[in-house]
Structure formats: C-alpha cells, structure tokens
C-alpha cells in the first residue's frame, strides 16, 4: 500500500488523515503555515491567545464521527459550552431579541420581544426549516456529492425528496411569504451568510440552516475554538499520522494519468499513490494539478473583515452576550453592495463574539477579547482592493459598535485581517470563506466532488468541495474524501459510509 499525502492541515485534511490512518494507510500531512488549523486560527497579544476564525460550532456529531474513527470521541477530547442567551440581535430602532439555547425558550423570548404573532411565525418557520433539513441532509450533506445523474438513478423517491427541500424559490421569497415580522425576516435572512451567499438568490433550501443552529444547537468550545484543532492533531498523531508544517506544495506529480507524489517549493519530493487536497479548489485546479484540469468556479462566496478588540470587561447586567448581531437600517442593501455592486457594505451588519462568554477563554486582567466581523466581497480576480477600502470599513464597523455601546473609544484593535489577507493566506480562494456561493438552484451540483475523475488518486477534502464550508461540513468533506480513498484501495469503509 502506497503512502497518502494530505495537502493542508485544516479540519478537512485532518479528518481525512485520521480516518485513513485508522484504516492502516500510511499518512503524511503537509501544511504550508507554521501551525495546523486552516481558517480556525489563533493569534496572541500581550500573553493572551485569541481566536481569529470561526466562533460557533454546529453539528458536533460530524466531528464526533471523526474522533470515534480515531479511537476517541468529541466528548473525550473537548468540552462544549452553551451560554444563555446564545445570540443577541440588535435592531436599528434599538429593540433587542435574545435567542436561547433551546427552541421553547427562544419562542418565549420572541413572544416577549416582538409579540405573540411573531412567536407563532418563529415556531412555524423552524418547523419548516427542520423538514427541509431532514429531507436534504441525507443526499446533500451526508451522502456522496449529488449529481443530476444520481437523482435520475434515484427515481421517484429522489425526485419527491427534491420537492420537499423548497429548491425553486429563493430564501428571501420564502421568508417573506412565511414571516411578516421585519425583525424575524432579518434574522432568518442572515443564515445565508453562513455559507457566504445572497438570500435574494440562494435557494430556499438553505433555510434549513435556521434549524441547524436554532433547533439542533450552536456551541462554544471551552478554551476557544482552536481546541478543536489541537484535539484533531492529538488524535491524528495517536494514529501515526506524520505532519510537516511550514512546507509549501508547489505541484503534484502525475504519470500516465495517476498521481505519483508531490513536489514542495524547496524541491523536496514525496512519493504517494494518493493525494488528498485540503486546499481551495481554485489553487488545486489552478496551480497544483497539471494544466487542463477543471477551472475554478467564477462565483466565490463572500469574505470578511475581521478584528479582535481588547475591550474593557463588563460584569453583571452589562456583561456582553456570547454572540451579538447589529443589523443595519436596510439589511437587503448589504447584499446589493456585496453581490450587485462588488464593494464593501456602506452600512454593514456587524457580528461580535465575546470570547470569554462564548468559549470561557481567559482574557487580560481588566479586558476581554471581542471578535468583530463584517461581510465583504471576495477579492477581484485580477488584483486586490486598495488599503483605503479596509481603513474606511474598519471605521464604519467600529463606529457601529461604539454607537451600540458595545465598546469604548480606548478599546484597541489587537488583530485585524482583510479579504486581501485571507487571499494571501489561502491561495486560489480570492479570500472567500466558504468556496462557492450557493446563489443558484444548481450550486450543490457544481461543487467539486471529493474524488476527482482525473488524475486518478486525487481527492478533495475542503470547504470548497462537497458538501461545503464551515467546520462540520469541512469535517464531513474529509470523511467523504477518506471513504472514496478507502473504496478505491478496497479497504473497509468508515462506519455508516455510503458507497460512491
């Protein structure tokens, strides 16, 4: 059995490596950064570690599946936390809506804040979102990459399943049809941003994300989100996975239509009969594979401007909520700026995560780290936006946070990253956070599959491949890629695997 090389040590790559190694495949992970983790990043300021990437964990069973394949479990490796309130939404008129860790409490909170009719709308919409998830998840999340051919092969049951997932309307159209309360319309439309899409264009199927977070639950990780990476690395090392960091892969060597290894930028060569790419599909098809491969998709998801504030700690009734969203006056104008005009929002929505509250991190003696994010377009395909774009956006974002009373003039930005910075760190991505935007009914069919048809022995395990971006889907992408490798090597599949 030849060696498998995994290019990239993000969640998808580490998940694939754990499963392959647990089945006896020799695995070596090559990561170009100085530490593993991909977009789950950390920084340090004045002795305090800060999370700089994702702030919320959903679908923890996806990670648990990986850990169990590696002889452990999510609950042996990590401690999840569920702060209350879970999310605080602040609207332009000053009203506030707190959503709680369970649906019943959230319904009651909606009634108290917005009235009985809003409570009924909220509860009914979550029931609708749950139905979509239950119909869509088997084929579009947990199964192999869907295709028109697989739908035809599935016959009438597959076609009926498609009809249950509301694919022919947009998110916004269905939200407006089912929900009359303006504040709830904004809350539900925001779930499009969880995979970097536009609710005016994305299929209503994505309304299932509301159920994923509000019905199935969103979690913090005690000690910070980077603890997920540390736990995956521990599990991989126990399975014998070798890992090299600070090594950039320049190209994949192919002979007679099959991969035979990789070549690093320093000239080092590694032989491998299997290469799993935990990298953006734009980089894989654009530079790593020989010319003539699949072209990168021209519709990347949104990116983000991110900052971490060193902010005066608040206690008692002034304590920050774990997660806060500040909505602008006209939320749909943000999507027009992002997708129609291709520029940073003039009046952005702003997301904040108080890391001490959300993840029970430890801050400074008198200050706490507060993560701040605004959605922005990906970088242009032919260059980068000028620095003035980010300077102006930073001031607009911080102005919104200050006017909401959530930070003070003396609070410092101790970490900052723009779409241009993301594009440099993740080649081929243009800074997009989730790979392809889901702004059409066919988006799920256009994501690259986990097994490439050419060259043989090449696989994808990342947020830009099936089933999509975000921590749980990246883990499932790693699972799917590993299962495809095992099937091709005629080795036992992971528990519950679906044949491809």
In tens, the pLDDT along 228-275 reads 999 999 999 999 999 999 999 999 999 999 999 999 998 889 999 999
**For the chain, which residues make up each domain, given as ranges?**
4-40+59-78+224-297+435-488, 102-219, 299-425
CATH no. of 4-40+59-78+224-297+435-488: 3.50.50.60
Could you give the CA distance from residue 23 to residue 483 in angstroms, rounded to a whole number? 10
Q: How confident is the model at residue 2 (pLDDT cuts 50, 70, 90)?
A: confident
Could you give the CA distance from residue 130 to residue 124 in angstroms, rounded to a whole number? 10
In tens, the pLDDT along 91-124 reads 999 999 999 999 999 999 999 999 999 999 999 9
Query: E strands, 150-241, where?
Result: 218-221
Could you give the CA distance from residue 304 to residue 374 in angstroms, rounded to a whole number? 6
pLDDT at position 151, please? Answer: 55
Angle at 499 between CA 498 and CA 500, to 5 degrees: 115
In tens, the pLDDT along 129-179 reads 999 999 999 878 887 777 656 555 555 455 456 667 888 899 999 999 999
Could you give the CA distance from residue 251 to residue 259 in angstroms, rounded to a whole number? 11
Query: E strands, 87-185, where?
Result: 87-90, 96-99
The percentage of residues in the chain with a pLDDT greater than 90, rounded to a whole number, is 83
pLDDT at position 157, please? Answer: 57
Cβ atoms 86, 100 nearer than 8 A: yes
Residue 299 neighbours by CB under 8 Å, 6+ apart:
436, 437, 439
pLDDT at position 499, please? Answer: 44
pLDDT at position 295, please? Answer: 56
Averaged pLDDT, 209-229 = 98
β-pairing, 350-354 vs 323-326, is: antiparallel
DSSP string, 49-99: EEE-S---EE-HHHHHHHHHHTTS-HHHH--EE--SSSEEEE-TTS-EEEE
Could you give the CA distance from residue 39 to residue 421 in angstroms, rounded to a whole number? 12
Comparing C-alpha atoms, which of 405, 425, 406, 409 is closest to residue 417?
425
Helix axes of 226-238 and 60-69: crossing angle, nearest 10 degrees: 20
Cβ atoms 240, 202 nearer than 8 A: no
User: With a threshold of 0.85, does the pTM exceed it?
Assistant: yes
């Amino acid at each position: 059995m030849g060696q498998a090389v995994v290019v990239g040590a993000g969640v998808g790559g580490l998940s694939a490596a754990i499963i392959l190694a647990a089945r006896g495949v020799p695995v070596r992970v090559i990561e170009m950064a100085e530490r593993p983790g991909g977009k789950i990043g950390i920084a340090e300021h004045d002795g305090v570690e800060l999370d700089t990437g994702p702030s919320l964990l959903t679908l923890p069973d996806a990670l648990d599946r990986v850990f169990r394949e590696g002889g452990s479990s999510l609950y042996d490796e990590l401690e999840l936390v569920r702060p209350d309130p879970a999310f605080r939404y602040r609207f332009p008129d000053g009203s506030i809506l707190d959503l709680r860790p369970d649906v019943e409490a959230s319904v009651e909170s909606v009634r108290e804040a917005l009235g009985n009719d809003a409570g009924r709308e909220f509860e009914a919409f979550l029931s609708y979102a749950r139905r979509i998830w239950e119909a869509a998840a088997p084929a579009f999340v947990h199964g192999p990459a869907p295709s028109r051919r697989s739908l035809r092969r599935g016959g009438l049951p597959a076609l009926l399943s498609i009809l249950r997932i509301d694919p022919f309307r947009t998110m916004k159209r269905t939200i407006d049809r089912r929900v009359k309360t303006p504040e709830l319309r904004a809350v539900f439309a925001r779930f499009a941003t969880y995979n970097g899409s536009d609710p005016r264009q994305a299929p209503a199927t994505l309304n299932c994300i509301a159920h994923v977070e509000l019905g199935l639950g969103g979690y913090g990780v005690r000690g910070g989100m980077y603890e997920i990476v540390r736990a995956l690395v521990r599990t991989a090392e126990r399975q014998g996975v070798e890992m090299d960091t600070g090594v950039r892969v320049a190209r994949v060597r192919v002979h007679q239509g099959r991969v035979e290894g990789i070549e690093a930028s320093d000239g080092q060569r590694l032989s491998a009969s299997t290469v799993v790419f935990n990298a953006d599909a734009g980089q894989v098809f654009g530079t790593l594979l020989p010319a003539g491969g699949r072209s990168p998709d021209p519709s990347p998801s949104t990116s983000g401007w991110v900052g971490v504030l060193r902010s005066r700690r608040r206690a008692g009734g002034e304590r920050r909520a774990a997660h806060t969203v500040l909505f602008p006056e006209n939320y749909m104008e943000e999507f027009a700026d992002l997708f129609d005009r291709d520029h940073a929002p003039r009046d952005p929505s702003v997301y904040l995560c108080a890391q001490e509250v959300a993840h029970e991190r430890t801050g400074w003696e008198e200050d706490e780290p507060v993560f701040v994010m605004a959605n922005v377009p990906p970088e242009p395909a032919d260059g980068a936006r000028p620095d003035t774009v980010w300077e102006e956006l930073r001031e607009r974002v911080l102005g919104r946070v200050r006017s909401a009373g959530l930070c003070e003039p003396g609070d410092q930005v101790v970490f900052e990253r723009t779409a241009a910075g993301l594009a440099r760190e993740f080649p081929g991505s243009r800074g997009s956070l989730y790979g392809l935007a889901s702004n059409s009914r066919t988006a799920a069919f256009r994501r690259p599959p986990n097994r490439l048809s050419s060259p043989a022995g090449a696989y994808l395990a990342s947020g830009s491949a099936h089933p999509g971006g975000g921590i749980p889907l990246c883990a499932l992408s790693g699972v799917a890629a590993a299962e495809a490798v095992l099937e091709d090597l005629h080795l036992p599949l992971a528990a519950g695997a679906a044949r491809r």
